[in-house]
Every structure is written in C-alpha cells, then in structure tokens.
Copies of this chain bind each other. A is one copy, B any other.
Amino acid sequence: MERIDDIDLRILRILQEDSKKTTKEIAEKLCLTVTPVYERIRRLEKGGLIKKYVALLDKKKINRSVTAICMVSLRYHNEGFIDKFDRQIKELKEVQECYHMAGKVDFFLKIHLQSLDDYHDFVRLKLSRIENVGVLESYFVLKEVMHTTEYYI
C-alpha cells in the first residue's frame, strides 16, 4: 500500500463516522468529483486499510445491558496452554474482546450479557471449565462513559 495523503485521511474520518455517506456527499465535502473519491475508497479497501463495513447495534435494545471485564491468569504458561486458551475463548459467543496481556494478568476479556445471572453461568459453566484457568478477577461496568470504533487519524 502506497502512502496515504491528507485526502485519504479525510475520507477515512468520514467513513469511520458514517459509512453510508455516498461518494457524492463525500466528494462535495472535499470539493472533488465522485471519480477520485470513488477510486481512493476502492484503493483503501483493496489495500486492507479499510477492513470491513459493519452495522453497530444498540446494546440495550438487544438486551445486552451488562458489560463485564474479566482478568484471567493461567496456572501454567507453556506455549501450548496459551494457544489452547486462545482457541477455546474464541468459541464463546459472549466474549467480545480478548487480549493476551503483558504483566501479572494473562488475559483480558470483555463480555456482554443480559444479566448478572448470565455472568454467573458464564463463569461457572464456561470460563472456569477451560483447562488451566487460574485466578479470575471480575469487574462490572456501571456506566459506559465512551465507546467508539473510530481511530483518531
């Protein structure tokens, strides 16, 4: 991928905010015609800079009001165990984010659920049954202060 210039950046900022904006609307904002804008977007897609386009849903309206953060430490740290944990975590539909961390905690999970009861079940029936899971530390979100999918570029 060649370098991206200022026009590319402005296009990316717009699309991060609202990907339904038409090429024409974007072109007008940038004082260009549709063709260059169209071609730039295609180039950004082909180059993989734009990964995908998605619809974002309202958590509350689909009944996923509980957000839990869970820090997991494994008992043993052989490479095989870490990969195994990775694979098993990816199977769990409740998990929205999972990071392998540097530090005393090994993994960091963000989980979305309907209720605290569901979290109880999640830990008891799924998470704690994954082999080699050691310490679990759970935190619950009281209020989402901010949450964006955009990067400041």
A residues near B (Cβ < 8 Å) are 1, 12, 15-20, 47-59, 61-62, 64, 67, 69, 86, 89-90, 93-103, 105, 107-108, 112, 139-153
Contact = CB atoms under 8 A, between A and B. Distances in A.
B62 A153 contact: yes
A56 B67 contact: no
Given A105-B139, A139-B108, A52 B18 contact: yes
Given A57-B16, A139-B103, A151-B59, A145 B89 contact: yes
B18 A101 contact: no
Nearest to A146: B98
What is the copy number of this chain in the assembly?
A: 2
A129 to B, nearest CB: 18
Given A62-B153, A108-B139, A99 B145 contact: yes
Contact of A54 (B94, B99, B150): B150
B96 A148 contact: yes
28 contacts: A15-B54, A16-B57, A17-B54, A18-B54, A19-B20, A19-B54, A49-B57, A52-B56, A53-B53, A64-B151, A67-B99, A69-B101, A69-B108, A89-B145, A90-B146, A95-B146, A96-B148, A96-B149, A97-B146, A98-B144, A98-B147, A99-B142, A100-B142, A100-B143, A101-B141, A102-B141, A112-B151, A149-B149
A78 to B, nearest CB: 16
